[in-house]
Structure formats: C-alpha cells, structure tokens
C-alpha cells in the first residue's frame, strides 16, 4: 500500500475496511475506488469520472442514483418519529401501508408480509417459515431444501447454504447438511444436439424428480429459485416451460415453491414480478433491492394463506412467533419503499420496461456477431451475454483465463461498470435508462469485447 497517499481516503480505507466479496490481500495494494455521487444511470468516482452502471450497482439501483423525492420522505419520517419497532404488536403506518401495497401487487394471492432489512434476511426468514410450516403440519422431517447450482440467495449462515456456489462455501466449512442443489438450467451451454428447450426443461424436471426420490420426498421441504437466475449464473432466463415442469414435480411430492424475487421483483423482467414472466406460482416470495430503489435497506417475505395458517397453528401451540430483527418494519425504510412504489406507478414502470425491452434485446443481441459472444438472452431489462472460446462447440474459456474479469476491466476503462461471472456478462441497468443510453451502453460493451479480444490475441 506504499503507493497510496498517506491519510488519503484510499489509505484510510485499506487500513480500516474489510470489503465484502473482495480479495483482501490484493485490496491492500490496489485500494478502493471511492464513489462520491451519482445522477441518473451514472455513478461518479472521487476523481470526477462518471461511469454508466450496467448492473444497477448490485442489481438494485432501479431509479438510478440520488433522489430528492426519496430523501425528503426519509427526512420527514425521521423528523416525525425516526424509529420504532414492530415487535409485540407495535406498528407504524408506513409499515402497514407497505405490507398492504405488497399484498395488492403480489404475483399470486398472498396472505401476510414479514418485513426485514436485506435479501439475505428475507431468505433466511423464509427458510425458517418453511421449517415452521412443516413442523406445524406434523411433518418435521420435511427439512431438506433444494436450490440450484450457480444460484445466489444471500450470505448469512443459512442463505449461503441455499447458495449453490461451492467457492462461497469452502472457506467456511459450509454448506450444512440438508441443502441440495439441482442442475442450473443453462440451455445454451448444456443442451444436447437437437434437444429443444422444452425437452431440456423436461430433462431438468426428470433429474429433479430423481433427486427427490433418491432423498425421499418426505424429507424435502421446499424448492428455492430466482425466476431469472442472477448472481452466479449471470442473468440466465429459464428455458421454455422450465418452471411449469419443475412445479409439476413439486406439487406431486407436496414441496413448497419459494420464489427469490430479490433481483427480479419490481419490473426488472418486464412484469412486476419475475414469477409472472417465468410462470412461477410461489407459496413464498422474497424481495428486496428495488423495493426501495436500494435507497434504504429493506426487504419483505410474502407468504400465502397456507403458510400463515401454519403460523397460527404454531401460535396456538407455542405462543408468540419468535422471530424478528430490530429494524424490521423500520418506518423510514418502509416510507421510502412506499414512495418508491408510488414512483413506479407514476412512471407506469411495467409498461416502461416492456417498451424498452425490444430496444435492450436488439442492442445487446447485436453482440452475437462478436467472436467472443455465443449467446445473448434476457427479459425486460435483465439479460446475459455468454462469453465463449469456441462458438461452434458452445465451449466457454478455461476458468484460469478469467475472461469475464478481463471484459470487466476493459469496460471500466470505457466508463462502464459491469457485473461479470467467469463467462457471462450480466446486464441489469437502472430501470430509468433511456433508449439512447441503452444503445450507448451496448456500444461501450462492444468496445470492451474488442479490447479483450485484442488482448487475448496478442
């Protein structure tokens, strides 16, 4: 860290901050990029350089950066009350209004909402609800959870077990027992010659059924999936009829469906919910991120009447529902989320994203002619660009080549922040993006792909 100016924010950062999902030792050398302000889809670093945000930061800055309107709501709520909890029957109006609103826009009829602070907390709480439900039903052995390889559902002790990425487990001695991972439905990469999307989906459903039978259907509590697979898979839409076929298997063995809408919720996929875009009929929905345009940390678990009835049963047997976080239902966060949902209504969010969808898919779809790109697929304003070494064989680059990281670095040089996995660029720009900005973003990505191609050819 010798090159970092003493007492600069960069030097103070490396001296004091442990950063999530960052190489700790390398960070001591490189130091941070410090971001100081933003407007629209642009975020500015402390040198004044502006970057287009191709991933809405962490898939969350749906309204872009900085908002007078949301700031005023937070300020007013803080002036009036600041904080009170919702434990032991206490409540506040922003929390009530928000829960009511979420029930009104839910993708399927839902009964109650549990407010939390992050996507991880929402999934963690949903997991406890699944176990609570099966205990209430007198079937406590239905404890195992099936999620999918390459899925990301959070970082807490439980949600990292739901997460199907071995690299995120190994340093921690995870996952715990009872977490199973079905195949990631990556049609482009894994389909056999001549196999249609539907046939591929059937193969995924058959493999799931085999797993369930092998483990014992009476031991499986829930299947966990984000409608368009984000994190590890890189914004991967499901193949045709995938969820229809998967859910037919789940229904056969009385297994709950949990839709992780933490990324896909609130217009991202061209409908209010990814479940609507991808044909998911969930028992439980978790959501966060765009719920408050990421301006406040807040998340929610929506549960159907069947789950709520189990909560009631347990109340009769055990007393209180003993679960909750100090900041659950925080009035400031709830008020900001509510105002965010009002903004979505005013801008007719779903129609807006639907109108931009063909422009987005055309602009980025045009990259398919690039020698590094095998496929481009998405819904709404969410999609992935598949990076391949061999287009004809649909073969990815060896992991050691770090192709995604190279594209990412070149994109930064061109003023574009991306979210890349080993071999996919995941796109999820702020939902306020304009047609011209989409075209410009795709041009910058093409430039970064050209730079990467030149680098590996050299």
Which one, 56 or 304, has the nearer CB to ligand PLP?
56
Q: Give the contacts of 369 (CB within 8 A, at least 6 positions apart).
A: none
**In angstroms, what is the minimal distance from the CB of 184 to ligand PLP?**
13
**In angstroms, what is the minimal distance from the CB of 296 to ligand PLP?**
12
DSSP β-bridge partners for residue 39: 42
What's the CA gap between 292 and 61, in Å, rounded? 9
Cβ-closest residue to ligand PLP? 119
- The region of 44-52, 90-98, 146-154, 199-207 touching ligand PLP under the rule CB under 6 A is 146-154
- Residue 232, interface with ligand PLP (CB under 6 A)? no
Cβ pair 364, 385 in contact under 8 A: yes
Which one, 153 or 370, has the nearer CB to ligand PLP?
153
| Residue 189 burial class via C-beta count within 10 angstroms: exposed 0-12, middle 13-18, buried 19 and up | middle
- Residue 263, interface with ligand PLP (CB under 6 A)? yes
Which one, 231 or 329, has the nearer CB to ligand PLP?
231
Q: Which of 133, 142, 144, 153 binds ligand PLP (CB under 6 A)?
A: 153
**In angstroms, what is the minimal distance from the CB of 226 to ligand PLP?**
4
Burial track 109-131 (b if 16+ CB lie within 10 A, e otherwise): ebeebbbbbbbbbbbbbbbbbbe
- Residue 165, interface with ligand PLP (CB under 6 A)? no
Cα 319 to chain centroid, rounded: 34
- Residue 327, interface with ligand PLP (CB under 6 A)? no
DSSP state of 82: S
- Residue 337, interface with ligand PLP (CB under 6 A)? no
Share in percent of the chain as helix, strand, coil (round to 5)? 45, 15, 40
Pairing between strand 220-225 and 256-260?
Answer: parallel
**Which residue bears the tokens 């032991």?**
88
Q: Identify the CA nearest to 260 among candidates 246, 279, 273.
A: 273
**In angstroms, what is the minimal distance from the CB of 273 to ligand PLP?**
13
**In angstroms, what is the minimal distance from the CB of 301 to ligand PLP?**
12
Q: Give the contacts of 389 (CB within 8 A, at least 6 positions apart).
A: 395, 396, 397, 398, 401, 403
For 13-47, give the DSSP string: HHHH-PPTTS-HHHHHHH-PPPEEEEEBTEEEETT
Q: How many CA atoms lie within 13 A of 335 on its CB side?
A: 21
| Residue 159 burial class via C-beta count within 10 angstroms: exposed 0-12, middle 13-18, buried 19 and up | buried
**In angstroms, what is the minimal distance from the CB of 447 to ligand PLP?**
27
**In angstroms, what is the minimal distance from the CB of 136 to ligand PLP?**
25
Q: Identify the CA nearest to 249 among candidates 276, 269, 271, 222.
A: 222
- Residue 125, interface with ligand PLP (CB under 6 A)? no
The count of residues interacting with ligand PLP (CB under 6 A) is 16
- Residue 452, interface with ligand PLP (CB under 6 A)? no
- Residue 119, interface with ligand PLP (CB under 6 A)? yes
Q: Report the SS3 class of residue 301.
A: strand
Which one, 268 or 406, has the nearer CB to ligand PLP?
268
**In angstroms, what is the minimal distance from the CB of 263 to ligand PLP?**
5
- Residue 423, interface with ligand PLP (CB under 6 A)? no
- Residue 421, interface with ligand PLP (CB under 6 A)? no
**In angstroms, what is the minimal distance from the CB of 458 to ligand PLP?**
35
- The region of 4-12, 116-124, 418-426, 447-455 touching ligand PLP under the rule CB under 6 A is 116-124
**In angstroms, what is the minimal distance from the CB of 183 to ligand PLP?**
18
- Residue 227, interface with ligand PLP (CB under 6 A)? no
Which one, 58 or 281, has the nearer CB to ligand PLP?
58
- Residue 120, interface with ligand PLP (CB under 6 A)? yes
* Contact positions vs ligand PLP (CB under 6 A): 58-59, 118-120, 123, 152-154, 226, 230-231, 260, 262-263, 288
């Amino acid at each position: 860290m010798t090159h970092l100016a003493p007492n600069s924010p960069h030097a103070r950062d490396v001296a004091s901050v442990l950063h999530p999902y960052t190489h700790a030792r390398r960070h001591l050398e490189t130091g941070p990029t410090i971001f100081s302000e933003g407007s629209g889809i642009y975020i500015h670093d402390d040198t004044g350089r502006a970057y287009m945000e191709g991933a809405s930061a962490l898939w969350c800055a749906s309204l872009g950066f900085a908002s007078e309107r949301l700031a005023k709501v937070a300020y007013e709520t803080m002036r009036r009350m600041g904080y009170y909890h919702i434990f032991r029957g206490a409540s506040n109006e922003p929390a009530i209004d928000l829960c009511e609103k979420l029930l009104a826009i839910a993708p399927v009829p839902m009964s109650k909402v549990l407010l939390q602070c992050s996507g991880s907390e929402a999934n963690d709480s949903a997991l406890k609800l699944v176990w609570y439900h099966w205990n209430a039903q007198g079937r406590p052995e239905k404890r195992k959870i099936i999620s999918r390889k390459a899925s990301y559902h959070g970082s807490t002790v439980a949600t990292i077990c739901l997460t199907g990425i071995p690299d995120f487990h190994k340093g921690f001695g995870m996952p715990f027992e009872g977490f199973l991972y079905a195949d990631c439905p990556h049609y482009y990469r894994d389909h056999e010659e001549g196999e249609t999307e539907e046939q591929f989906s059937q193969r995924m459903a058959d493999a799931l059924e085999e797993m369930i039978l092998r483990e014992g259907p009476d031991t499986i509590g829930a299947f966990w999936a984000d409608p368009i697979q984000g994190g590890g898979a890189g914004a991967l839409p499901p193949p045709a009829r995938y969820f229809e076929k998967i859910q037919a298997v789940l229904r056969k063995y009385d297994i709950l469906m949990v839709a992780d809408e933490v990324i896909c919720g609130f217009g991202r996929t061209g409908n209010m919910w990814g479940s609507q875009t991808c044909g998911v009929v969930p028992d439980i929905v978790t959501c966060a991120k765009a719920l408050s345009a990421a301006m406040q940390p807040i998340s929610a678990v929506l549960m159907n009447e069947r789950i709520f009835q189990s909560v009631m049963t347990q109340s009769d047997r055990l007393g209180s529902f003993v679960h909750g976080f100090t900041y659950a239902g925080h009035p400031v966060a709830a008020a900001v989320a509510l105002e965010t949902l009002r903004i979505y209504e005013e801008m007719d969010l779903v129609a807006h994203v639907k109108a931009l969808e063909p422009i987005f898919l055309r602009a980025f779809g045009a990259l398919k002619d690039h020698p590094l790109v095998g496929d481009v697929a998405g819904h709404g304003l969410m999609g992935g660009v598949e990076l391949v070494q061999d287009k004809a064989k649909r073969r990815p680059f060896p992991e050691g080549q770090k192709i995604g990281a190279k594209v990412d670095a070149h994109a930064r040089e061109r003023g574009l922040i991306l979210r890349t996995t080993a071999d996919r660029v995941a796109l999820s720009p702020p939902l306020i993006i304009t047609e011209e900005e989409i075209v410009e973003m795709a041009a910058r990505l093409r430039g970064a792909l050209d730079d990467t191609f030149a680098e590996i050819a050299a």
